[in-house]
Each structure stands twice: as C-alpha cells, then as structure tokens.
C-alpha cells in the first residue's frame, strides 16, 4: 500500500487539511515568522516516528545523485576582478554535494505524496500570502534530495528562487565548521 501524506505530516500539530481557526492561526504564525526572520520553521511537521521511512527512501536513491564539486561565491557568479578583494562577489568557497533528481521519486513515494498532496500547495500559498502560486514545473527539480557525504559542504549563499520549501530530515553527524 502506498504511503499517504496524512500518515507522515503531523496534522494535529499543524492543521493544514481543513480551513478554520486552527489553520488560520498557524498561517498567521508562519506569516509573522516570515516577516520577522525571512523564514518559517515547522519543527515536527513530519511525524518523528516516520522520519526513518523518509531517510530510508532517500538513502535508496542517493546513488542516483548528481555530484558537483566547484568553488563558488554566495551569488553563484563569476569572479569580478574589478572589485576589491574583500567584496562578497570575490569570496569563493568550496562547494560539494549531490542532488537526487525528481524522476527518482515516482508516484507513491513519500516525498512525492507530500509534495502532490492537494492541501500542501494551497497551505504554502496561504503562508506566503501570495495571490498566485504555482508548483515548480521542472520534472527533474520539483522534488529533489540534497545529500552531502563526508567532506562535502554547501557554503552560505543566496537562493535565486522566490521561495523554497525544505524538509530537513537528517542532521549531519559532524561538521558545520
């Protein structure tokens, strides 16, 4: 039997399924966090007892990750020798990680079930306060997994997307230096 998003998302803690005062209050808290901090963190959005299932799903497809090793600045641009050496556009860092593309997450996979859950996109849209909101149409990038092996790192940077929804399911065992 395929998993259902409702089996994985803690809808008691995060009432996103039905419109009403509880959902409205959650959305108001999220908007406040986005306004104050630029992001909203929903700890425990995925039920703690189901995280291992997600990790297992991701581990199974990690072998299909596209690995990338390069040096980049926080803006993902070329060097600008016309600027002072201390300018952020001239600060380059080692970047190495892997992205598992979306075609590894077929219908019925846990991540795809959450992403395609009919209440998920409207919930994100409401939290962002956007009149129009569209799912990412790229069939290889709508649902991805970012992996990092020992020695890999993904330095600080500015995302070029208007919004990003991240399910952080596993912390690094060491690192962050």
Please say if the pLDDT value at position 110 is more than 90.
yes
Average pLDDT on 167-174 reads 80
For position 22, what pLDDT does the model report? 98
The three-class DSSP label of residue 123 is helix
Nearest to 27 by CA among 127, 122, 95: 127
Please say if the pLDDT value at position 97 is more than 80.
yes
For position 160, what pLDDT does the model report? 79
Question: What angle in degrees, to the nearest 10, is found between the helix axes of 120-128 and 21-37?
Answer: 50
Count CA atoms closer than 13 A to 73's CA, side-chain side: 12
**Mean pLDDT, the chain, whole residue set:** 91
For position 175, what pLDDT does the model report? 64
Average pLDDT on 21-31 reads 98
* Contact predicate 53/169, CB 8 Å: no
Average pLDDT on 93-119 reads 93
Q: What percentage of the chain exceeds 70 in pLDDT?
A: 97
For position 113, what pLDDT does the model report? 94
For position 1, what pLDDT does the model report? 58
Quote the pTM value. Answer: 0.85
Average pLDDT on 134-154 reads 87
Tokens representing residue 1 in the block: 């039997």
Please say if the pLDDT value at position 173 is more than 80.
no
């Amino acid at each position: 039997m395929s998993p259902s998003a409702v089996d994985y998302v803690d809808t008691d803690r995060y009432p996103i399924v039905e419109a009403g005062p509880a959902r409205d209050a959650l959305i108001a808290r999220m908007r406040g966090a986005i306004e104050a901090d630029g992001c909203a963190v929903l700890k425990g959005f995925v039920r703690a007892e189901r995280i291992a299932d997600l990790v297992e799903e991701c581990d199974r497809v990690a072998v299909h990750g596209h690995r990338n090793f390069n040096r980049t600045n926080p803006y993902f641009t070329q060097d600008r020798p016309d600027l002072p050496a201390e300018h952020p556009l001239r600060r380059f860092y080692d970047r190495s990680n892997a992205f598992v593309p979306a075609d590894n997450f077929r219908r019925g996979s846990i991540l795809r079930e959450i992403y395609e859950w009919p209440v998920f996109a409207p919930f994100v849209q409401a939290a962002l306060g956007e009149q129009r909101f569209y799912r990412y149409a790229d069939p290889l990038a709508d649902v991805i997994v970012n992996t990092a092996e020992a020695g890999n790192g993904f330095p600080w940077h500015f995302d070029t997307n208007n919004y990003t929804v991240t399910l952080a399911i596993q912390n690094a065992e060491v690192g962050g230096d």
